[in-house]
Amino acid sequence: MTVHRTTLERATTAETDLLDVTAEARQAVAESGVREGTVTVFTPGATAGVTTIEYESGCLEDLRRALEVVAPRDGDYAHNQRWGDGNGYSHVRAALVGPSLTVPIADGRPILGTWQQVVVCDFDNRPRQRKIVVQVQGEG
């Protein structure tokens, strides 16, 4: 079994940044030599997540609006009362989306739909330097 890991870094703002990392996931798979297996994209931290969506401005805006309905920025969060940092909403959004995504690999390529991209979501209320771990496992 082969395991190949790479770490990306991306600067983000405080505006629910949605970062398309599909090309980087595909590149990691190609570099690994894995033909059959999985690729996992993971973001360490409690205020970011990873999902798939069509990376198109309308879909991205729809996702941002849906998250605002489910976990509004100006909501009443116990986390904010305890720590005073105002990012309670970002913790809830990250918990709902989840910190990682695993995609199967077949014939040396991630199995993704035509309009399906891998997207890292930074929900925090301040700019961050995000680490994104891409790990490929499988057989060559």
Q: What's 53's domain CATH number?
A: 2.60.120.460
Nearest to 92 by CA among 119, 108, 109, 70: 70
Query: 82: helix, coil or strand?
Result: helix
- Report residue 31 CA to chain centroid gap: 21
pLDDT band of residue 16 (cuts 50, 70, 90) is very high
Q: Tell me what pLDDT residue 110 has.
A: 98
Query: What angle (nearest 5°) sits at the alpha carbon of residue 11, between those of residues 49 and 116?
Result: 45
13: DSSP letter: -
| pLDDT tens digit sequence for 17-50 | 999 999 999 999 999 999 999 999 999 999 999 9
Contacts of 113 (CB under 8 A, 6+ apart): none
Domains held by the chain: number = 1
Q: Are 133 and 5 in contact (CB under 8 A)?
A: yes
Residues of the domain holding 7: 2-139
Rounded Cα gap, residues 68 and 70, in angstroms = 6
Q: What is the pTM of this model?
A: 0.95
Q: Tell me what pLDDT residue 97 has.
A: 98
